[in-house]
Structure 1
Amino acid sequence: MRLSVTKVLEAYRRGYFPMADPQTGRIWWFSPDPRAVLPLAEFHVPRSVARLVRRSVFEVYHDRAFDAVVAACADRSESWLSKELQAVYRELYRVGHAHSVECWQEGQLVGGLFGIAIGGAFFGESMFHRVTGASKVALVHLVTHLRWRGFRLLDIQFLTPHFLQFGAEEISRHLFEKQLAEALALPVHW
């Protein structure tokens, strides 16, 4: 069965997200317990990343090259971003639910991230960098934008050492579902 925008949005609203098996392309749905989030109010910017942001090493934009960001995130030896998932994320972008934050240098896309926005919740999906620090700077800009727009939840799905340095934490599925419901009820727009 082909993924539809409606089905994918409903899954996110219920706390599930899709990932494809890198070998077969089969889509699996996940709702981990515990769930990793980046608390927007307690977001921590490491000193080295703060220096990069202050120095304006990258030009940072939103939604200028969404398709290129998704393609770059999928460009790995093994990727959960199957062609089918890439297509549905591009469609979610076209209907206003998927967004990218991009870092550019000398006219070249050198890093970025993308995710899904529904109400006051942002579901971070993937990030990439071709220049050291670019994806981290994109993350700082994402959090700044989410705070400015009134978002309440930044879901990062799984806790990694990369996200720990920014203050990421794991919360129970019960608490995640509570925070998700509160965030979804907000009349927030990207």
Structure 2
Amino acid sequence: MQPFKKTHLCVLKKYLAVAALSCAASVISVKSIADPKNLDIELTAQVPEKEFKLEEKKIELAMTADTTKEIFTGETDIRYLNAEKVQSLKVKLINHLPQLILLKDGERVLTDNISIGSILINNQQLVNIESGANFNQNDLKSFDQKGIHLKITSESYENAPEGKYEGTVTLQFDATIS
């Protein structure tokens, strides 16, 4: 065996130093995750007061036949709660062309239907009006007790086949609250 030369010893020292640093680094990293700390965060939340709320989400409205004009009409009042902070209210028709559709044996017959001619909410027209009906705070106070009056009138059923018809009108209520 030959004796180590100085250059060999230098290289060997460097390897040993690198190996020692690697071991130290791994020991440090192991030590840093060996003592985990848990942090509990307790959450609380409060639901704000609902300032505008309709009494009913769905209203069944029986349409009555007017045999002299051969149309159907239906009227009701839409009631709401907690509206004293409402500055303005916008009511808009979502399904722009609602229809009364014929039912046969519980199934809807899509070929036979009667169009809705007008939808009035407190005497403001909703059919074919993009902006909807707008009410200010004074309007809201005037029908606070009785609710918002809704009147729906169909087109003529003169040429429609005899039978039971049903349909859905979807209204959107947007309130501005102070």
Q: Which has the higher strand share?
A: 2
Same fold (TM over 0.5): no
The answer to which structure has the higher helix fraction is 1
Give the TM interval when normalised to the shorter protein: under 0.3
